[in-house]
Amino acid sequence: MVTRTGIIGLSEGNGHPFSFSAIINGYVGSGLVEAGWAGIHDYLSRRHPADFGVGNLRVTHAWTQSEAITTALCHAASIPHGVSSPEAMLGEIDAVIIARDDAESHLHLARPFLEAGLPVFIDKPLTLNQHELQAFSPYLESGRLMSCSAMRYAVELDELRYRLNDHGRLSLVRGTVINGWEKYGIHLLEAILSLLPSRPVSVEPLSLGHESVLIRLADDTPIIIDALGDSPVIFELDVIGKKKVTHHTISDNFSMFRRALWVFSRMIETGTPGIAPDATRDTIRTLMAGSQALREGRKCYLDAL
């Protein structure tokens, strides 16, 4: 049975409405290029047709802030219905993907669908506000809401996931990412925290000429994340243990996006959370603590938020 899915976008520089819809529905190559997303077309065109499609999901409705962009999105991903407002999807869809990374818009956009009982996927970061996180929490618990950076599912980390113990006790885990902490730090937070059993306790700023933070876990494992700002594209992870050191470059967007969407599809089918609610809350609270630490120039504890 098809899960009729709505897609909502767009935020500046974020092509996820196009990439997510194309991974689910397939795509029209010329439509992606004409819409200005040649980079997305490039990595999609490298995939076999069998790689497209995610469970029972089918994007059937789309809305963006621009009628022209909505039309382009519908053409590029063969979406049959462009609508004039998000609420116009209510009664017509079974689930919704909010593919915008401007966190301040998320609760406003998601609330009508969550209150209507629809499963919702929200692009990262879910929120940067403690009160909004509290408002989202019941839906995380009930298996109606999923939000993450797809880097949690990066294929480049598969071997590390299963062989982490080979490193011995960890001396340091370090992640490096482009752009700023609040929008891009979450990529490495998801990648790293999903690997480690201990929970984050505190975040403190480091003086390195760019946004850099030291995160301490409850077992005292140190994690450093560097957000380099304006930089060549970089998503990298170093795991330094007493027995082994490994370096991981993350670049396969298609596979991580498809995996995240598959987990959302399973959440819809089973009604159980795709990601443990505490894991999502830990990630978002670490992101918020990092923002506060960078802003105030001091160590911040997650329990104080």
Looking up residue 226, the CATH number of its domain turns out to be 3.30.360.10
Looking up residue 8, the CATH number of its domain turns out to be 3.40.50.720
What are the C-alpha distances in Å from 57 to residues 132, 151, 240, 265? Answer: 28, 21, 39, 7
Pair 177, 214 in one domain: yes
pLDDT one-digit tens code per residue, 184-237 = 999 999 999 999 999 999 999 999 989 999 999 999 999 999 999 999 999 999
β-partners of residue 219 are none
Pair 90, 138 in one domain: yes
Query: Residue 80 pLDDT more than 90?
Result: yes
pLDDT, the chain, mean: 96
Pair 103, 219 in one domain: no
**Interatomic CA distance for residues 258 and 157, integer angstroms:** 15
Q: What is the pLDDT of residue 14?
A: 87
What is the count of structural domains for the chain? 2
Domain around 227: 155-251+285-304
Does any domain span residue 199?
yes
Does any domain span residue 280?
no
Query: pTM of the entire structure?
Result: 0.96
Q: What is the pLDDT of residue 12?
A: 85
Pair 130, 247 in one domain: no
Pair 119, 201 in one domain: no
Pair 193, 137 in one domain: no
Does any domain span residue 182?
yes
Q: What is the pLDDT of residue 1?
A: 84
Q: What is the pLDDT of residue 276?
A: 97
What are the C-alpha distances in Å from 255 to residues 46, 89, 150, 158, 291? Answer: 12, 28, 9, 12, 29
Three-class secondary structure assignment of the chain: CCEEEEEECCCCCCCHHHHHHHHHHCCCHHHHHHCCCHHHHHHHCCCCHHHCCCCCEEEEEEECCCHHHHHHHHHHCCCCEECCCHHHHCCCCCEEEECCCCHHHHHHHHHHHHHCCCCEEEECCCCCCHHHHHHHHHHHHCCCEEEECHHHHCHHHHHHHHHHHHHCCEEEEEEEECECHHHHHHHHHHHHHCCCCCCEEEEEEEECCCEEEEEEECCCCEEEEEECECCCCCEEEEEEECCCEEEEECCCHHHHHHHHHHHHHHHHHHCCCCCCHHHHHHHHHHHHHHHHHHHHCCCEEHHHC
Pair 162, 55 in one domain: no
pLDDT one-digit tens code per residue, 94-130 = 999 999 999 999 999 999 999 999 999 999 999 999 9
Q: Are strands 145-148 and 120-123 parallel, antiparallel or unpaired?
A: parallel
Q: Label residue 10 by pLDDT band (50, 70, 90).
A: confident
Query: Residue 29 pLDDT more than 90?
Result: no
